[in-house]
Amino acid sequence: MLDVTRNLTMMTDFYELTMSAGYLEEDYQDKISVFDMFFRRVPDGGGYAIMAGLQQFIDAVDHLHFTPEDIDYLRSTGVFNEKFLHYLENFQFHCNIWAIKEGTPIFPHEPIVTVEGPAIECQLVETLLLVTFNHQCLIATKANRIVRSAAGRPVMEFGARRAQGYDAAYFGARASYIAGCSSTSCVMASRDFGIPASGTMAHSWVQMFPTEYDAFEKYARLYPDNCVLLVDTYSVLKSGVPNAIKVFDQVLAPMGKRPKGIRIDSGDIAYLSKKARAMLDAAGYEDCTICASNSLDEYIVRDLILQGAKLDSFGIGENMITAKSDPVFGGVYKLAAVKEADGSYTPKIKISETAEKMTIPGLKKVWRIYDRDGKAMADYITVYDEEVDTSNGITLFDPVETWKEVTYINCTAKCLSTPIYQEGKRVYESPSLQEIREFCAQQVDTLWDEVKRFEYPHTHYVDLSQKLWDIRHNLLRSMSKRNVSIAPKSE
């Protein structure tokens, strides 16, 4: 199993260290700060993303420490003084962390992870946090789109060889399984995560033998209980399917075995699958499945089904494991508040000329509002000490276009911000990967179909409580007044 105890403490950007050293010099190292991770837009213009990566972040945080070799390297840079290096030698983690559970649909601008603790500690986990969640959320989101496009047909993750590195293949397989893929071709991920393994042969197997029939015959004798033949090495209809049928008749049938399937990896898959289905059915192999692969994505899969392709499953590689169509999740990590000596929080905001880049200040909670049938209506961000009472209904308003408001009645609210660490101690019991996968399917099912559209999905609103909106609005006004400039008099 991949070593979950490996030390990833140095998986950080250099400026996290320079800022941390500066905090120490300014005696800010113990200043309690609040940072949020959130994202600004859903990849591929989708209506929602999928939360994934929490377990790997927990594994990394559980083993944060600077080794003597780390300290020696940092000393060799000539940038850091001994006071800071001594601090790192004795580094301990004391933060509180809240996160939305893996498998949950998530939406732009809401904090999906919140870290509260000493400024240096919050800063030092930033890069590690972002690389973990940005990757797995991205792949889980793409995989869920593809799984939904398959309309209940199994989707196998075939992307290891096209992933951007070993960890991307390994953890990408995990993320895709959370999102609904049925299996993976990555043996290491199958072994360690318990994901079903899938895969039979490549074109090289067929080419290795004197004839296509010989290749199929040898494979059928080796794997009579799991015989899936790749039929497009030469010609799907002229040789591949006829040779497969011949092997089914001459090798499997005498053993009392039935073929599992054929795979088509090139050509006009819709046309070829229809013709292949007719040939298999005519030969008495109605139960022999047809799998399609070859650079598929959610749009091609959807179109194949709309065109009446006779396909039972899909193998998806590069377009899923790299999220090729929109390969950056774009999650960011921003300061939201600083805790004062009296226990109060001073909210912090980043202002931008671009409205979507302005942050939401303060220590916050995220809630999801459900109707009486359990359908998700909206998300609701509140100040950390607010409780949401829906007994008399609840009115939500758009935080930008404030005249847009709606009142929900007969609804319930569930807090999504889940405690993971308290004062550096883990308080969260991680579910199994299978439980996360089942939870993901259940949670996606709570979304309206309109939110799940690939093109122009309905907006699932993420609104602010009145108290939080007032804090943000007042902070914006005060910052605006503070930054007023006076033009010089004209001569």
Q: Is the Cβ–Cβ distance between 169 and 409 less than 8 Å?
A: no
200-294 CATH fold: TIM Barrel (3.20.20)
> What average pLDDT does the chain have?
95
> Rounded to whole angstroms, what are the CA distances from 302 to 123, 266, 280?
43, 17, 24
- Give me 89's structure tokens: 């030698």
Buried b (16+ CB within 10 A) or exposed e, 302-316: bebbeeebbbebbbb
Lowest mean per-residue pLDDT among 193-207, 209-223, 314-328, 397-411: 397-411
17: three-class secondary structure by DSSP: helix
Mean pLDDT score, 143-150: 98
pLDDT at residue number 491? 44
Mean pLDDT score, 382-398: 94
β-partners of residue 347 are 337
pLDDT category of residue 352 using cuts at 50, 70 and 90: confident
Residue-wise pLDDT tens digits, 13-58: 999 999 999 999 999 888 999 999 999 999 999 999 999 999 999 9
Q: What are phi and psi of 364, to 5 degrees?
A: -135, 165
Sheet holding 332-339, edge to edge: 345-347, 332-339, 32-38, 113-118, 96-99, 418-422, 425-426
What are the helix and strand counts (H, E) for the chain?
17, 21
> Rounded to whole angstroms, what are the CA distances from 270 to 254, 286, 301, 305?
32, 18, 10, 8
pLDDT at residue number 1? 61
Q: Which residue has the tokens 């309690």?
A: 32
Mean pLDDT score, 291-295: 95
User: In this structure, what DSSP letter does residue 252 have?
Assistant: I
pLDDT at residue number 354? 72
| Separation between Cα atoms, residue 339 and residue 31, nearest integer Å | 7
Can you give the residue ranges of every domain in the chain? Answer: 14-139+327-481, 200-294
Return the CATH class of domain 14-139+327-481. alpha beta
| Separation between Cα atoms, residue 156 and residue 163, nearest integer Å | 15
Q: Is the pLDDT of residue 368 over 70?
A: yes
Residue-wise pLDDT tens digits, 58-96: 999 999 999 999 999 999 999 999 999 999 999 999 999
* Sequence letter at residue 321: I
pLDDT at residue number 351? 86
**pTM for the whole structure:** 0.95
User: In this structure, what DSSP letter does residue 487 have?
Assistant: P
Q: Is the Cβ–Cβ distance between 196 and 183 less than 8 Å?
A: yes
pLDDT category of residue 2 using cuts at 50, 70 and 90: low
